[in-house]
Every structure is written in C-alpha cells, then in structure tokens.
Homo-oligomer: A and B are copies of this chain.
Amino acid sequence: MDKATVIGMVLGTAAIIIGIFLGGSILGFIDPPSIFIVIGGTISVLLISFPMNDIKSLIKIMKNAFLDNQKSMKETIELLVQLSERARKEGILAIEKVLEDIDDAFLSSGLRLAVDGSDPEAIKESMEIELQNIETRHKRGQQILDTGGAMAPAFGMIGTLIGLVNMLKTMSDPSSIGPSMAIALLTTFYGAVMANLIFIPLNTKLQGITAREVNQKELIIDGVIGIQGGDNPRMLRAKLETYLPPSLREKE
C-alpha cells in the first residue's frame, strides 16, 4: 500500500480531530441527522448522475490503486527484455510455456496474440483498444469523484440552510441560539471535510494513477511488438528505457 497516502490520511484526520479537541469535545461534532443529510444527499446525486456499473468500477479501481500491486516500470522492462531473449534463442513459441507465470493480464493476452501468430498491426490495434477501455473507465471514475467533491459542500450548505430556518422560526429563547447554530454549521463542516479530505485528493491521485498506468501499458505494447518482431534484446532495452527518467536507465 502507498505509504504517503496512508500518512496523509492519518495526518489530515489528526489535524482536524486535534483542532476540535483543543477547543471543545469531539462529541459536539457528531450529529447523526447532519451526517445523514450530507452523506445521503451526496450519494443520492451520485446515484442519479451515474449508472451503478460506473460507481462499482470506481470502487474497484481505487482499491487496486491503494494496493499498488502495479509492477514498477523498471521491473516491467526487465521482464520484457528477458522474454525477448528467450524468444530470440528458442523461438516465439517458447513464450507460450511461461505465459501462465505472468500475472499482468494485459501483457499475457498481448503475448498470446503474438504466440498465435497474429500480425503486428492486429496485435497493436487490439492492445490499444484495450488500453482505451481502461482510460475510459478511469475517466468516468474521475467524473464521479469530481461530482462528489462538488456535491458534498452543496448538501453541507443545504443542511445549514435547513438548520438556520428551523432555528430562526422558533427564536423565542435566546440562550438556545448558540447551540442550534452550532448544529446548523455542522453540515457545512461535514461537506467541507468530505470534499477536501476525500473526494478532491482521491481525484488528483486517480489522475496520477491513470497517467502512470497508461504509460506502463504503452511500454508493454512496445515490448510485445519488439518481442514478436525478434528485436535484438539490447536494442529493445534501449528503446524501452526512453520511458524511464535518465537516472534509472542502465549505464552501458
């Protein structure tokens, strides 16, 4: 799991909780009806706006993102160069035996096409359509997080308006104004925290994840085409390493 993300989430929550403790008690910030308005309202807009499948797909994407089981670019290049060496020595069909050991579904399905003898153009097209599908799914996920980040504060404000109207209608006892107003403000607080500590940072993170995943898949496409074409492994490595920052490239 991505350490910086965990540290960030813990630190962010801590900053808010400590801020609360220093001036009052945490209990004063928990109000179930207010939580219901903000979370219920935000979820309801997501349900209206997006098909169920897109929402489920986002949850899956985010889970993968946190598990961070993505191979590093460097390891992927090593794997592709090894496969290229094998294919060169023992022929492309030798790849078939190791297909089962490859746990990247995108790479193994590309290699299967190569082993089956499809022509390079067809392999490339097929892999690129796959890549586009992944991008489209991620983009929809970003739209959902975007909508969440806009709706949580909106329902926070709606909740505060409800609280204010209720308070003002029955403003007979001045001593009750303070606590009523405090509760009215809680929905705005919940909305701001949900948007700024959850939806907006996860959206930024997902953008970065998408960029890296697309980059890695493009590397794999170049690698598979090179393996099928019987490229010299040393040349293939040089070509694939242009995807790395200079400091990570193999010194010759």
Interface residues of A (CB under 8 A from B): 2-5, 7-12, 14-16, 18-20, 22-24, 28-29, 33-34, 36-37, 40-41, 43-52, 54, 129-130, 133, 143, 147, 150-151, 154-155, 157-159, 161-171, 177-183, 185-186, 188-189, 192-193, 195-197, 200-202, 204-205, 208, 242, 245-246
Contact = CB atoms under 8 A, between A and B. Distances in A.
A46 to B, nearest CB: 7
B50 A208 contact: yes
B16 A158 contact: yes
B165 A44 contact: no
B44 A19 contact: no
Residue among A54, A155, A162 with most chain B CB within 10 A: A162
Contacts of A204: 48-50, 143, 147
What secondary structure prevails in chain A residues at the interface with B? helix
Given A24-B166, A165-B182, A169-B24, A151 B5 contact: no
Contact of A9 (B24, B44, B185): B44
A3 to B, nearest CB: 8
Given A129-B242, A196-B154, A15 B28 contact: no
A160 B176 CA distance: 21
A12 B165 contact: no
A37 B195 CA distance: 16
A188 B169 contact: no
Contacts of A8: 43-49
Contact of A200 (B4, B45, B165): B45
Report, nearest first, the 8 A-B pairs whose CB atoms are least far apart.
Answer: A8-B47, A12-B44, A171-B178, A15-B40, A8-B48, A168-B182, A24-B166, A23-B166
Given A51-B4, A204-B50, A204-B147, A162 B20 contact: yes
B47 A4 contact: yes
Contacts of A192: 154, 157-158, 161
A206 B51 CA distance: 11
Contacts of A205: 48-50
A8 to B, nearest CB: 3
A207 B174 CA distance: 49
A48 B9 contact: yes
A15 B36 CA distance: 6
